[in-house]
Structure 1
Amino acid sequence: MLVVMKQGATAAQIDAVCQWIRDKGYTAQPMPGAQRTAVGLVGNDGRVDGSPLEDFPGVAEVIYVSNPYKQVSREWKQETTIVEIAPGVRFGGSEVPIIAGPCSVENEQQIVTAARQVKAAGAVALRGGAFKPRSSPYSFQGMGLEGLKLLKLAKQETGLPIVTEAMDEAGAELVAEYADMIQIGARNMQNYSLLKTAGKLKKPVLLKRGMAATIQDLLLSAEYLLAEGNPNVVLCERGLRSFDTASRNLFDLTAIPVVQQLSHLPIVADPSHGTGRRDKVLPMSRAAIAAGADGILIEVHPQPEKAMSDGAQSQTPAQFAETVVQLKRVAEAIGRRIAG
């Protein structure tokens, strides 16, 4: 439920609404806007009768949020949320940031070289996995803490903010010490303990859609983060598991405008995982920008043929540079621009 106050409502009138909500056993969340303040009722899993509030001084209207997800919905907040992970690196505005880097951190030379190369081409943030959830227990699992330290070194060398994945609660707290944005991967989208921990940490979160998750599933997972007090959430479309073997996943571009209609949270696209094929990353990156994506994630490796994970979908530095050039043209055609 959302209580919209009249323009010019006093602090005392807003406090009275908040107190009524608290007296009912729920949490009141005031949300000042450009013209007026709204007060959200948080903590209910069903409809609350807010009719008494309609007669409170300063109340304009009471809106019942119909979706099972509340705080992430457009009903709750009309304006798109802007998530800033570093000075000048924002998701949800007219500029479209590009996050790029290798799937995994492998050694110092690899990650620092990759960071320099993607920055030179136009990326404004560096991705790289220190912890890697893999389908096979025998595959490379990442360097862990040492990988985080190398990411920090790459940031010191280039100034690029870091986006990297956490696999569990303890890992989330560790990642929060080193990274500017915690990634929650597709396999952990419904790891609710991890979501709660990441929400409490208040660090910006990149939440990837699960391989078989509906859009409602994705938004409900995001609700866990906001329910813990973390509004800095960016959603990510990264492809769904399909029966077709022509590509690694089915890249669901329709999810971008659908999510933007349903939620105020920004959504970015990951065409690398979305296709699993290096030659398909460029065309699907262009398509994602045209569809309105608020950012792009691209895997780039100095030597993809030697990558310890996901080499087949990683662009070379030269391919990435050409991708950025083309994405700038597409963004300009729809009235946006590539950040940086």
Structure 2
Amino acid sequence: MSPDATDEDVAHVVERVESVGGEAFVSKGVVRTIIGLVGDLESFHGLNLRTLRGVADVHRISDPYKLVSRQHHAERSTVWVGKGGAGNKRVPIGPDTFTFMAGPCAVESPEQTLEAARMAQSAGATILRGGAYKPRTSPYAFQGLGVRGLEILADVGAATGMPVVTEVVDARDVPVVAEHADMLQIGTRNMANFGLLQAAGDSGMPVLLKRGMTATIEEWLMAAEYIAQRGNLDVVLCERGIRTFEPSTRNTLDISAVPVVQATSHLPVIVDPSHAAGRKDLVVPLSRAAIAVGADGIIVDVHPDPETALCDGPQALLGNDLRELAQACRRLPPVVGRVASHERVGHE
């Protein structure tokens, strides 16, 4: 309350709060009075408390994201990806495990996708990533193969035994993407596409939610809440770099977001060093940093011939770079108390 708030002002606030079923606890200091509210937050919003006479400010103490917050779910969650059985294995993403996902940024052909998947698998990846729908900044850039790309991904996933994660860009496409994939990816440009978030939540599929390029951590978690509110808590968060004033990299990897989010939310958090850097020479160093800071996994672009790639060739790995990354993914997770996901595959 304001320093000059009267007893009548305080009593009026208490009366308004109690009128919607809330409780108000008044604490009077020498020059300032604080009123603590307990009850349904949605009903409090309708009171327009900031407009009441004598009110100086209103601060929310509890997290605005109830379902994904550790305030209501103290233990960190594990999300399992894959159908299991002969088709593909079930892969865990979560605490105590480090999960390596890799594959081509865009599906171009059956041959290219299978070769990239074999490369990823030989490096230790247990989940295949690949884009069939590609939301691009330019309308003239390659937009993906669509349903044909989904079919290729499903075939390659079956051939390698790897679960598949791929992006969905339109709520109307959720059913067909869910039919072919094991995990739905919501990209940075769609983090605030609330209709798409709700449709992904309704699908019941695991969801990989990338942070918006200009999103705060709270906005990112509120986007995850849209999915969780539909009854789907199988959400994995992905830090992929944010837009800053620094032009030497494609984006600025907010490595601090990993421990900050893990302290706030029970959802797993992985890192995308490929899209953060936009340069293949930085992918391995940023992957090492992600492992060291406690990320639950990484998702990386690989391509058998980056020079001819239709999408993000400069950041795709192969050869010595991929071998160096594979070595980091074998050696570093145990140092921070993690087990490689391939050692837990299928063991729920």
Deviation at 1:93, TM superposition (A): 2.8
Whole-angstrom CA distance in 2 between matches of 1:78 and 1:305: 46
Aligned to 2:14: none
Deviation at 1:116, TM superposition (A): 1.2
CA contact (8 A) 1:328 1:337 kept: no
Change (3 A) 1:290 1:116: same
TM-score norm. by structure 1 comes to 0.81
- Give 1:97's aligned amino acid: T
Whole-angstrom CA distance in 1 between matches of 2:320 and 2:115: 13
1:93 alignment partner, SS class = coil
Whole-angstrom CA distance in 2 between matches of 1:95 and 1:233: 16
Aligned to 2:79: 83
Deviation at 1:338, TM superposition (A): 2.1
Q: Deviations over 1:30-86 (max 9, x none)?
A: xxxxxxxxxxxxx963569xxxxxxxxxxxxxxx98111111101010011110002
Q: Is structure 2 residue 286 aligned with structure 1 residue 284?
A: yes
Q: Is structure 2 residue 126 aligned with structure 1 residue 124?
A: yes
Change (3 A) 1:156 1:312: same
- Give 1:264's aligned amino acid: H
Aligned to 1:35: none
Q: Deviations over 1:168-211 (max 9, x none)?
A: 11122211000000000000000000000000001000000000
Deviation at 1:336, TM superposition (A): 1.0
- Give 1:118's aligned amino acid: A
- Out of 229, 233, 250, the residue aligned to residue 231 of structure 2 is 229
Aligned to 1:220: 222
Aligned to 1:170: 172
CA contact (8 A) 1:300 1:315 kept: yes
- Out of 70, 86, 103, the residue aligned to residue 66 of structure 2 is 70
CA contact (8 A) 1:122 1:321 kept: no
Whole-angstrom CA distance in 2 between matches of 1:236 and 1:310: 18
- Out of 128, 138, 141, the residue aligned to residue 139 of structure 1 is 141
Stretches of structure 1 lacking an aligned partner (at least 5 in a row):
1-23, 25-42, 49-63
Whole-angstrom CA distance in 1 between matches of 2:326 and 2:118: 15
CA-based RMSD of the aligned residues comes to 1.6
Deviation at 1:131, TM superposition (A): 0.1
- Give 2:169's aligned amino acid: M
- Out of 42, 56, 70, the residue aligned to residue 45 of structure 1 is 42
Whole-angstrom CA distance in 1 between matches of 2:266 and 2:302: 30
Using the TM superposition, name which of 315-324 and 158-167 deviates more: 315-324
CA contact (8 A) 1:65 1:75 kept: no
TM-score norm. by structure 2 comes to 0.79
Q: Deviations over 1:124-154 (max 9, x none)?
A: 0100100000000000000000000000110
1:75 alignment partner, SS class = coil
Aligned to 1:31: none
Deviation at 1:339, TM superposition (A): 1.9
- Out of 102, 105, 112, the residue aligned to residue 104 of structure 2 is 102
Identity value in percent: 48
- 1:174-193 matches, within 5 Å, as 174-193=176-195
- Give 2:42's aligned amino acid: D
Aligned to 2:271: 269
Q: How many residue pairs end up in the alignment?
A: 284
Whole-angstrom CA distance in 2 between matches of 1:334 and 1:297: 19
Deviation at 1:88, TM superposition (A): 4.1
- Give 2:239's aligned amino acid: E
Change (3 A) 1:173 1:317: farther
1:210 alignment partner, SS class = coil
Change (3 A) 1:188 1:275: same
1:293 alignment partner, SS class = coil
Whole-angstrom CA distance in 2 between matches of 1:172 and 1:318: 37
2:42 alignment partner, SS class = coil
1:194 alignment partner, SS class = helix
Deviation at 1:317, TM superposition (A): 4.4
Change (3 A) 1:258 1:46: farther
Whole-angstrom CA distance in 2 between matches of 1:172 and 1:113: 27
Using the TM superposition, name which of 149-158 and 201-210 deviates more: 149-158
Whole-angstrom CA distance in 2 between matches of 1:220 and 1:329: 35
CA contact (8 A) 1:199 1:226 kept: yes
Aligned to 1:149: 151
CA contact (8 A) 1:82 1:90 kept: yes
